[in-house]
A and B are shown apart, each in its own frame.
Chain A
Amino acid sequence: EAGVAQSPRYKIIEKRQSVAFWCNPISGHATLYWYQQILGQGPKLLIQFQNNGVVDDSQLPKDRFSAERLKGVDSTLKIQPAKLEDSAVYLCASSSPSASVYGYTFGSGTRLTVV
């Protein structure tokens, strides 16, 4: 079974620029999550999708971050404009409806550096 695919693996941008990350979940996984992992911390949820609908985006900084999952499969997370404090690893994860029992499958992440 193919894992969760993310791209790019690394990205360096200047502050105030925009950036986009892509995620393709495991086939058949209805639920998709974007997490932000700042160095030395655990992952923090940004947004959760169920199929193509948003379940929870309460922690997403909506003035600069946006995410979509138009066809209920792959997803894009965008930051515009980026700030220095956005430097982090952005992790995508997917799960079956039983995530509370079986846990997540994570992608390898995108490491963003804002200079």
Chain B
Amino acid sequence: GNSVTQMEGPVTLSEEAFLTINCTYTATGYPSLFWYVQYPGEGLQLLLKATKADDKGSNKGFEATYRKETTSFHLEKGSVQVSDSAVYFCALSTNTNAGKSTFGDGTTLTVKP
């Protein structure tokens, strides 16, 4: 079956530091890959996505590249801000499972001033 593995957190960084959150996946078929962000007390929001190998998703300074050879979709940001503090979820979806998404367990990021 499909699965997503994220690096364990929590991750604590100082403002303007470089961020990497690792995500690897196992899937049948050709998945689309997503990163969602969850701010305290809110639902998940789609942050970025990539639908095929070598695609790069980007949004709000965050980037992730779909690497089929390593089955990875690591999230990166060059300079984090306090407002980026949240929980980040990696997810995948395939047409073979009617569009259902499988989520990782999330990585909590705290950015300190």
A residues apposed to B, CB below 8 Å? 4, 6, 31, 33, 40-45, 48, 50, 55-56, 91, 93, 95, 97-109
Contacts and interface: CB of A to CB of B under 8 A. Distances in A.
Given A55-B98, A99-B99, A104 B46 contact: yes
Interface in B1-44: 4, 31-32, 34, 36, 41-44
Given A100-B32, A102-B49, A103-B93, A43 B44 contact: yes
Interface stretch (B68-76, B78-86, B102-110): B102-110
Contact of A97 (B31, B49, B99, B101): B99
Q: How large is the interface on B (under 10, 10 to 19, 20 to 34, 35 or more residues)?
A: 20 to 34
Contacts, number: 70
Contact of A42 (B46, B94, B104): B104
B99 A100 contact: yes
Contacts of A93: 43-44
A108 B106 contact: no
Question: What are the 10 A-B residue pairs with the smallest beta carbon separation, nearest first?
Answer: A99-B99, A42-B103, A106-B43, A100-B93, A103-B46, A100-B99, A106-B44, A108-B43, A42-B105, A109-B43
Most buried by A among B51, B89, B93: B93
A55 B99 CA distance: 11
Contacts of B106: 40-42
A91 B43 contact: yes
Contacts of B99: 31, 95, 97-100
A99 B102 CA distance: 12
Contacts of A104: 44, 46, 101
A43 B103 contact: yes
Contacts of B93: 99-100, 103
